[in-house]
Amino acid sequence: MTTTTTTTHVTDLYPTRGATEVATPRQDPVVWGSPDTPGPVSTGDLQALERDGFLAVDQLIGPDEVGEYRRELERLTTDPAIRADERSIVEPQSKEIRSVFEVHKISEVFAKLVRDERVVGRARQILGSDVYVHQSRINVKPGFGASGFYWHSDFETWHAEDGLPNMRTISVSIVSIALTENYDTNGGLMIMPGSHKTFLGCAGATPKDNYKKSLQMQDAGTPSDEALTKMASEYGIRLFTGKAGSATWFDCNAMHGSGDNITPFPRSNVFIVFNSVENTAVEPFAAPVRRPEFIGARDFTPVR
């Protein structure tokens, strides 16, 4: 088999996965668009996003629309063909579905959500350009023991393993839309406000095929207890709760995670990661191979 190697000459602004943990000040803006470009996000909210690294939107989609997305989520997570697909990640113990990737490719309902101006319009405004989807997924947290997501910065992984050069990615980039109510007890998303201003390069090399393990439980790219203690003391931890249809936009470098869900109440969110078309992926900065395209896109077609 012949493989083509593309050499990239992109400076690594954010070193990670070396011998030691190393903090680098953020080299990029958080809000890339000009403050006076009109859009759905108010100037005050843009300033808050710049400062805190997140933005909560109370009702991104209306109660009447939520039902459609919830039904689609149920359809996807119960369809045996989807379960058998490599895009589905199951819980190591219970074997229940934990995540389904590329939902905007396998579901017209979620494709429509991505194109929705309330969603993509915000991403364009924040990133100051056209955007494409770097990753989309639903994260299902059924009751009675679904496991959490350990503390991480998404950008750390997207830089190390997917080759995103700059912090010009918004998770809603993750738009995280709560499809089922997120209480303060059922494993909601936690973010450290202000943590996005520092990049924490993690210690330890990336094993080949790391993604297979890391999607069930993160190992490489995990911050140390010391670093997390320092950050949590400095920034505090904010928990995001909300009714179905509410959303949390958060910067790609915000330190975040969530606990297990031992309550009987499910917590399912959909995440859409928008990246600027001016920040397309190059070769991984700190991994032997690229991750599969259903996790880190190589099709940079702008969302229209």
Could you list the residues that contact ligand AKG (CB under 6 A)?
139, 149, 154, 189, 256, 258, 269, 271
Alpha-carbon distance of 239 to 163, in angstroms, equals 30
Question: Which of the stretches 37-45, 129-137, 153-161, 203-211 binds Fe ion when contact is defined by CB under 5 A?
Answer: 153-161
Q: Cβ 39 to ligand AKG, closest distance in Å?
A: 25
Q: Cβ 129 to Fe ion, closest distance in Å?
A: 23
CB of 180 or CB of 258, closer to ligand AKG: 258
Report what 139 binds from ligand AKG, Fe ion, none; CB cut-off 5-8 Å by kind. ligand AKG
| Residue from 82, 40, 78, 37 nearest 57 by CA | 40
Q: Cβ 245 to Fe ion, closest distance in Å?
A: 21
Count helices and strands in the chain by DSSP H and E runs:
9, 13
Q: Cβ 34 to ligand AKG, closest distance in Å?
A: 29
Query: Could you tell me how many residues of this chain bind Fe ion (CB under 5 A)?
Result: 1
DSSP 23-43: EEE--S-S--S-TTS-SSS-H
CB of 189 or CB of 203, closer to ligand AKG: 189
* CA angle, residues 123, 194, 190, in degrees to nearest 5: 80
CB of 28 or CB of 154, closer to Fe ion: 154
| Residue from 102, 272, 297, 52 nearest 172 by CA | 272
CB nearest ligand AKG: which residue? 258
How is residue 284 written in tokens? 């991984």
Q: How many CA atoms lie within 13 A of 185 on its CB side?
A: 6
Q: Does residue number 154 form part of the binding site for Fe ion (CB under 5 A)? A: yes
Q: Cβ 81 to ligand AKG, closest distance in Å?
A: 23
Alpha-carbon distance of 69 to 272, in angstroms, equals 14
| Binding residues for Fe ion (CB under 5 A) | 154
